Amino acid sequence: MKRSTIWSIVVVAVLALGGAGAYFYSSQQKQSQEQTASSSYSSHMQAGKEAVKAKKYSQAADEFDQAYQAKATPQAKNYQAQAENLADSVKLAKTTVKYASALNLAQKAQEQNGGYNVMTSQAKKLVKQLKAVKDNYDSEIKPLLNKAAKAMEDGNYDSAVSTYSSILDLPYINGAYYAKVRSNVKDLLKEAKSKQEDSSSSSSSSDSSSKSSRKESSSSSSSAASSSASSSSNHTEGSGTSNNDKVGGSTVTSRDVQQIRTRLDNLGESTAGWSPQDLINLFNYAYQQGHTTIDSITKDDVKGYLKSGK
């Protein structure tokens, strides 16, 4: 056999062995990566399930997402979507009065295709809770809020104080999903009590001034009445504001707040559950959109403000 032929055979053999070695190495490396991915996937899926049991839905959604990144399975994706809907539902119910939206998200979680059975069961309970919360708000709380707002508008502060207090006395009001309602009603009650005290003080001052005027001459009585009227007007104009009561550099008075509430009612927007500060913040938002007067506030301003997080 010629030497060149022998060398050719040797070269072919070496290349074959090298190719086999490379294939084996690549195969081993791929297998190792798959094992690592499977291990990561299982770890994150388990962590997500533990978070679900603790009702930490945002954390669970993050874990299921990481599991999906490790291994893109429909199960991980379905679990993630279900956890996100539950997290958004609970957050909305605890921080706003948008109970219809919160209920819709909970129902989506309950109906999730390929969802985690534990989450599905939790979603079912949440749907039941939110239906009761929404019913309480629509049938009892909201009518009371409207009644109190009308009393404030009419200057019947005693009635407003009594009505707001009755909301805070409701047997279920301290539940987790009434947090925003409680906060708003406490602010409204504070305003009503302030107006009540101002009204009482003004009445007492008026009675005292009347008794004094009968002992004085007609001219001094006229002067005192004029001074009293001026003082009362200044007091009313500046009352009922908070630390964040300026819009465009001007103070928003309690009278302005009531006008904003009336403007929203005229736009067909319910102001039940809106505190005075909420209304001032809305006006400030509208002002930044170029609507610098209360009468120029639009439905789009309301929608934009609510979307920004009331």
Q: What mean pLDDT comes out for the span 125-154? A: 96
Q: What mean pLDDT comes out for the span 193-201? A: 83
128 forms beta bridges with none
Residue predicted with more confidence, 1 or 197: 197
79 forms beta bridges with none
Give the three-class secondary structure for 278: helix
Angstrom CA distances, 98 to 47, 95, 108, 306, stand at 31, 9, 16, 10
Whether residue 142 contacts residue 170, with contact meaning beta carbons closer than 8 Å, is answered with no
Report the range of poorest mean pLDDT among 102-106, 162-166, 250-254: 250-254
Give the three-class secondary structure for 215: coil
| Alpha-carbon span 222 to 213, nearest angstrom | 8
Whether residue 114 contacts residue 150, with contact meaning beta carbons closer than 8 Å, is answered with no
pTM for this one? 0.59
Residue 7: its pLDDT value, please? 60
